[in-house]
Chain A
Amino acid sequence: MLKKLLITIVLIVQGLAVSAQDFEASVAQLPEGGYSDRAIIVHQIADSGDDRAAVVLELLLAGDLYFHKAERIVVRLSEIGDDDVAFDLLTDAEIGIVGRRDAKKIKVNNGLRREIRAVLGAMYLQNPDPDVRMEAAEAVYKSGDPDQISALDAAIVAETDDDVATAFREARAVAVLNSDLDVSEKLAAIVTLRERGGRDVPGVLAAFTDDPDLGAAATTAITEIEDIQKLWNLGQNIWYGLSLGSVLLLAAIGLAITFGVMGVINMAHGELVMLGAYTTFAVQEVIRNEFPQLFDYSLFIAAPLAFLVAGLVGVAIERGVVRFLYGRPLETLLATWGISLILQQTVRSIFGPNNREVGNPTFMSGAFELGGMTITYSRMWILLFSLVVFAGLLLLLKRTSMGLRMRAVTQNRKMAADMGINTGWVDAMTFGLGAGVAGLAGVALSQIGNVSPNLGQGYIVDSFMVVVFGGAGNLWGALAGAFSLGIANKFLEPFAGAVLAKIIVLIFIILFIQKRPRGLFALKGRAVEN
């Protein structure tokens, strides 16, 4: 019955050529006649193509439209304070406060409401903007309103964009399931939904598992979708693990040089990371105040500066303190811890104890969907950045003469000195390099966490764990250590919670060190002892 009415109305309305003036005329007619007349006017409004049509219909649906008796026009009432204030619907001019008897509500009944919703749906579904169409499809998908089926059918025929058409079909499938159409249509709908997959589909289908005709199909579809979902979840977990691993790698890779290559325990490493993050903050402050148009490039300016700042502080630490303590690792540990306290307090005195906000440039913000996974741009760039830094360091150590000198000094200081290498200078450069890389890590970490004077403290235990687990003296060890610890952590989290997962990983490392006291990739040979 309703469907028939709808079709007749659509036919009538399509026969009429309605222009913008007709929109205002139609609106003026709204108060007149009964519900069935009003339904025809609703269609006229919808087909007028006027920008205001959707707003008017939404207001009508919400019951906010009134006929102003004195002015004899249609108004919208909105409550301001305790009074109802009327606005001209067409010009949006304020008319004034109205009492209860000054205006008459333009009533809608359930039939008309359904009609309006369908018309609105169709309007959105055939909107020229594909984003609006997509949104409309999603709205129908969520509501699963069977009244929208015909509108969807019309929209599917008219649709040119493949993505939107698919969304329409999926929305239609949900609507079909909720309608009283026959079983074969519904089975086809289940197939459509099964192909769609995704987190919310099992919830939609779960309502039909007890249905005698659809139960079997719905159940198999749900298990199939959930199996696929599990795979995606696995993928997402691996992604989170890689992401955490990249953060750990960045934090630990500088340490892999100072601790791993030089054998110096640098407890101030975390603070060098912090210096990098604060350099980023300072650069962004300058850019915000002086050259706002450069904001998107702030990280590219901050990265070399952070490398320099942290590197210079590192060289100063090496020349000022660490070089007097070579061969006394425990004393080095204590002295650098002292330096870390001093650096922390310096930054606290200059920048204040509170968290500082470092902004994300546009290419770092937002996320995209990859199948069933959500990937944030910042995490993705950080992962790539960590790999680039890693590769760069590897090349530097293995392929340049500087790297050759560094390794020579590490392996046999006296021999290297005899060969004419300035070991003091190489020490300073190596330490500076490790510190500079820590500064680079700070630039990346400022994008995903708080920048505060305590930033470094949070990473120091973790980064030592990575280096110790991976095996000192080996960059590949740091890489393997960072990613395996990251992934292990993220896989434990769903079962154990974040804190317990961390505790389990720590205990695992403590036990692992018992088995392989020199880490995963241990150096072999005489250089190992002392």
Chain B
Amino acid sequence: MFNRLIDRRMGIFLFGLFVLTVAVPVGNLAMSGQPVPSYAVALMAKYLCYALLAVSLDLVWGFAGILSLGHGAFFALGGYAMGMHLMREIGPRGVYGDPLLPDFMVFLNYDALPWFWLGFDNFLFAVLMVVLVPGLLAFVFGWLAFRSRVTGVYLSIITQAMTYALMLTFFRNELGLGGNNGLTDFKDVLGFNLQTDSTRAGLFVIAATALTAGLLISRFITTSKLGKVLVGVRDAESRTRFIGYRVEGFKLFVFVISAMMAGVAGAIYTPVVGIINPGEFSPANSIEIVIWVALGGRGTLVGAAIGAIIVALAKTLLTGWIPEIWLFALGGMFVLVTLFLPHGVLGAVENTLNKFRPKKETTV
């Protein structure tokens, strides 16, 4: 079981992640002089959320051939579910001091909480919603799409339409979810103040744990017999169907799991960055996730996580140094990776390593 889940690349990555998970909080909280500044902790926690999101997309794109251009929607839905809980936790400490209603509702003259806000004061309920809402959307969407055999580019385009429609919906003030401002001004989570270093470090550890769990779950799925069928679906869908597998069931299962994982990533992301707004639903965001996976190496899971971290880090650095160059860099990345790195950075690195390795006898 252990050997099945953890191959060499997974082992190296998880070991590195573990070292980071220990070193960052220690460096931030326990050492004098703070070698790891607080903003870096939050930044790294954000990268890890992106990494989890990338892994979730790699699970469907790399292993089942479903190129979802709407994974940002699941991420944002998870984020909103957590954001709603954090809004309720503000309680009477908002600007208007209303004990029940969040600030934006007081501002928009709401009399009572809309029905879908009920229950979100309970943390466990919110966590349940974090996985259930994206999962349910993925189930309904996937059930409709896979059953009628919408595949390939058509599927990509309607997932894009889905996230676009959701973005327009969430931009509406009438929806009762904060309109274009989104949800923000959070105070604390489970009683821990979000502004303190210890809470930030805690969120970082949670993000790292979630990423590890996500990687292991994905690995478990893809190395199982079900995973083999998924690869069959990816490479020759009709053939797999003719062998006798119900392709839509397999796709639906992995699509829903992936959406839930994206929802969890969003739920950790919201307290880390302190805001969730409809911009997260924008189609451009969802396409960016795809380049993380493509850059890191499609179908490698670990590569997707690395790709997300590389691109996010590059974005932070480049937009800080020369803002104009970022879109050139991102655009160039899309072009060059698709043309020259079909297996991503991870594939390229492993290929190079293999060249230097003494060749084993291969049976033909």
Min distance, Cβ B287 to any Cβ of chain A, angstroms: 5
Output the nearest chain A residue to B143 by Cβ-Cβ distance.
A514
A349: Cβ under 8 A from any B Cβ: yes
Distance A507 CA – B158 CA, assembled complex (angstroms): 9
Residues of chain B within 8 A of A340, CB atoms compared: 331
Selected from B152, B154, B157, B327, the residue in CB contact (under 8 A) with A344 is B327
Output the nearest chain B residue to A346 by Cβ-Cβ distance.
B328
Min distance, Cβ B162 to any Cβ of chain A, angstroms: 6
A207: Cβ under 8 A from any B Cβ: no
Stretch from A52-60, A124-132, A322-330, A422-430 that touches the partner: A322-330
Distance A517 CA – B149 CA, assembled complex (angstroms): 7
Residues of chain B within 8 A of A346, CB atoms compared: 328
Output the nearest chain A residue to B294 by Cβ-Cβ distance.
A334
A468→B335 contact, CB < 8 A: no
Min distance, Cβ A442 to any Cβ of chain B, angstroms: 20
Residues of chain B within 8 A of A511, CB atoms compared: 144
B286-298 CB mask vs A (1 if < 8 Å, else 0) is: 0100110010000
B161→A461 contact, CB < 8 A: yes
Selected from A330, A331, A502, the residue in CB contact (under 8 A) with B168 is A502
Output the nearest chain A residue to B163 by Cβ-Cβ distance.
A461
A404: Cβ under 8 A from any B Cβ: no
Selected from A334, A506, A514, the residue in CB contact (under 8 A) with B290 is A334
B153: Cβ under 8 A from any A Cβ: yes
A510→B161 contact, CB < 8 A: yes
A333→B330 contact, CB < 8 A: no
Residues of chain B within 8 A of A345, CB atoms compared: 324, 327-328, 331
Output the nearest chain A residue to B166 by Cβ-Cβ distance.
A503
Residues of chain B within 8 A of A267, CB atoms compared: 287
Residues of chain A within 8 A of B160, CB atoms compared: 461, 464
A303-334 CB mask vs B (1 if < 8 Å, else 0) is: 00000000000000000010011000111111
A247: Cβ under 8 A from any B Cβ: no
Distance A422 CA – B171 CA, assembled complex (angstroms): 50
A513→B154 contact, CB < 8 A: yes
B165: Cβ under 8 A from any A Cβ: yes
Output the nearest chain B residue to A530 by Cβ-Cβ distance.
B152
Selected from B171, B283, B330, the residue in CB contact (under 8 A) with A338 is B330
Q: With A329-B152, A345-B324 in contact, is A507–B165 under 8 Å at CB?
A: yes
Within 8 A of B (CB), among A39-86: none
Output the nearest chain B residue to A264 by Cβ-Cβ distance.
B153
B165→A506 contact, CB < 8 A: yes
A332-357 CB mask vs B (1 if < 8 Å, else 0) is: 11110111111011101100000000
Selected from A321, A332, A513, A515, the residue in CB contact (under 8 A) with B158 is A513
A339→B284 contact, CB < 8 A: no
Min distance, Cβ B284 to any Cβ of chain A, angstroms: 7
A330→B328 contact, CB < 8 A: no
B334: Cβ under 8 A from any A Cβ: yes
Residues of chain B within 8 A of A324, CB atoms compared: 339
Min distance, Cβ B314 to any Cβ of chain A, angstroms: 14
B276-306 CB mask vs A (1 if < 8 Å, else 0) is: 0000000110010011001000000000000
A181: Cβ under 8 A from any B Cβ: no
Interface size on B, residues (CB 8 A): 43
B169: Cβ under 8 A from any A Cβ: yes
Q: With A506-B164, A506-B165, A514-B148 in contact, is A333–B156 under 8 Å at CB?
A: yes
Q: With A330-B153, A461-B283 in contact, is A338–B334 under 8 Å at CB?
A: yes
Selected from B148, B156, B165, B169, the residue in CB contact (under 8 A) with A517 is B148
A457: Cβ under 8 A from any B Cβ: yes
B303-331 CB mask vs A (1 if < 8 Å, else 0) is: 00000000000000000000010011011
Distance A341 CA – B290 CA, assembled complex (angstroms): 15
B150→A514 contact, CB < 8 A: yes
Min distance, Cβ A275 to any Cβ of chain B, angstroms: 15
Min distance, Cβ A410 to any Cβ of chain B, angstroms: 16
Min distance, Cβ B227 to any Cβ of chain A, angstroms: 20
A331→B154 contact, CB < 8 A: no
Residues of chain B within 8 A of A331, CB atoms compared: 338, 342
Output the nearest chain B residue to A500 by Cβ-Cβ distance.
B172
A509: Cβ under 8 A from any B Cβ: yes
B154→A517 contact, CB < 8 A: yes
Selected from A334, A344, A461, the residue in CB contact (under 8 A) with B338 is A334
Min distance, Cβ A241 to any Cβ of chain B, angstroms: 19
Residues of chain A within 8 A of B97, CB atoms compared: none
A329→B153 contact, CB < 8 A: yes
B161→A338 contact, CB < 8 A: no
Within 8 A of B (CB), among A282-316: none
Distance A331 CA – B283 CA, assembled complex (angstroms): 17
B67: Cβ under 8 A from any A Cβ: yes
Selected from A325, A499, A513, the residue in CB contact (under 8 A) with B150 is A513
B160-185 CB mask vs A (1 if < 8 Å, else 0) is: 11101100110110000000000000
Residues of chain B within 8 A of A518, CB atoms compared: 154
Distance A517 CA – B152 CA, assembled complex (angstroms): 11
B145: Cβ under 8 A from any A Cβ: yes
Distance A346 CA – B172 CA, assembled complex (angstroms): 32
Residues of chain A within 8 A of B149, CB atoms compared: 517
Min distance, Cβ A454 to any Cβ of chain B, angstroms: 10
Min distance, Cβ B177 to any Cβ of chain A, angstroms: 14
A342→B154 contact, CB < 8 A: no
Output the nearest chain B residue to A268 by Cβ-Cβ distance.
B331
Q: With A330-B153, A461-B161 in contact, is A342–B327 under 8 Å at CB?
A: yes
Min distance, Cβ B283 to any Cβ of chain A, angstroms: 6
Within 8 A of A (CB), among B133-154: 141, 144-145, 147-154
B153→A334 contact, CB < 8 A: no
Distance A342 CA – B333 CA, assembled complex (angstroms): 10
Where the two chains meet, the residues of A that have a C-beta atom closer than 8 Å to any C-beta of B are 265, 267, 321, 324-325, 329-335, 337-342, 344-346, 348-349, 457, 461, 464-465, 468, 499-500, 502-503, 506-507, 509-511, 513-515, 517-518
In the A-B complex, the 4 residue pairs with the closest CB atoms: A338-B334, A341-B331, A342-B331, A345-B327
Q: Can you list 23 A-B contacts with CB-CB less than 8 angstroms, sorted by A residue number? A: A265-B156, A325-B338, A325-B339, A330-B67, A330-B156, A332-B338, A333-B67, A334-B338, A335-B338, A338-B335, A341-B328, A341-B330, A346-B328, A461-B160, A461-B161, A461-B283, A464-B161, A465-B157, A502-B165, A506-B162, A510-B162, A514-B147, A517-B150
Extra pairs beyond A334-B290, A341-B334, A517-B150 (8, CB < 8 Å)? A330-B152, A333-B156, A338-B335, A346-B328, A502-B168, A510-B162, A514-B147, A517-B148
